[in-house]
Chains A and B, each alone.
Chain A
Amino acid sequence: GNSVTQMEGPVTLSEEAFLTINCTYTATGYPSLFWYVQYPGEGLQLLLKATKADDKGSNKGFEATYRKETTSFHLEKGSVQVSDSAVYFCALSKDFGNEKLTFGTGTRLTIIP
């Protein structure tokens, strides 16, 4: 079946540091890939998505590229801020974005001023 493996957390960085959170997946066919963010006490918010190989999703300075050859969708940001502190989830859906989402276990990110 489909699965998502995320970098173990927690991750603690200083403000303005470079961020990478690794995500790899196992799926048949051509899944859509997502990064969701969960701020303390809130539900999930879509951060970015990519629906086909070599697509790059980007939002709020975050980027991730759909790499089919390495089955990866790593999240990156060049300069993190304290407000980026949250839990980040990598997810996939088999075909389309509104089908069942399979999530990774999440990576807690804390940014220190």
Chain B
Amino acid sequence: ETGVTQSPTHLIKTRGQQVTLRCSSQSGHNTVSWYQQALGQGPQFIFQYYREEENGRGNFPPRFSGLQFPNYSSELNVNALELDDSALYLCASSLDFGGTDTQYFGPGTRLTVL
């Protein structure tokens, strides 16, 4: 069984640029959530997708957007990057929204904004 994978591992961008981060869910999982983890902090929920539809959003501006594809892989897009967007971005997959399954996290993408 393949776990959750994310790409790229590390990324360096400059302020104002746009970035796309990718996540491949664990096999069979149809729900994906994205989290932002600033240095020394706990992860903060960005949004969740269930069967290609956004299913909840945290306190993040609209320049954070996402997609979930028919194969349940996912993208996180961030426009107009700001210095404070520098963080570890984690995706987590699970099976069936509303069930009792837990979320399985990928290793993360470390984004640095200069």
Which B residues fall within an 8 A CB radius of A?
4, 31, 33, 35, 40-45, 48, 56, 58, 90, 92, 94-108
Contact = CB atoms under 8 A, between A and B. Distances in A.
A51 B40 CA distance: 27
Contact of A43 (B44, B98, B101, B106): B106
A40 B11 CA distance: 18
Nearest to B41: A105
Contacts of A43: 4, 90, 105-108
Interface of A: 4, 32, 34, 36, 42-46, 49, 51, 89, 91, 95-106
A49 B102 contact: yes
The 4 closest A-B pairs by CB, nearest first: A103-B42, A98-B94, A97-B102, A44-B105
Contact of A44 (B58, B90, B99): B90
A9 to B, nearest CB: 10
Contacts of A95: 98
Contacts of B33: 98, 100-101
Contacts of A36: 105
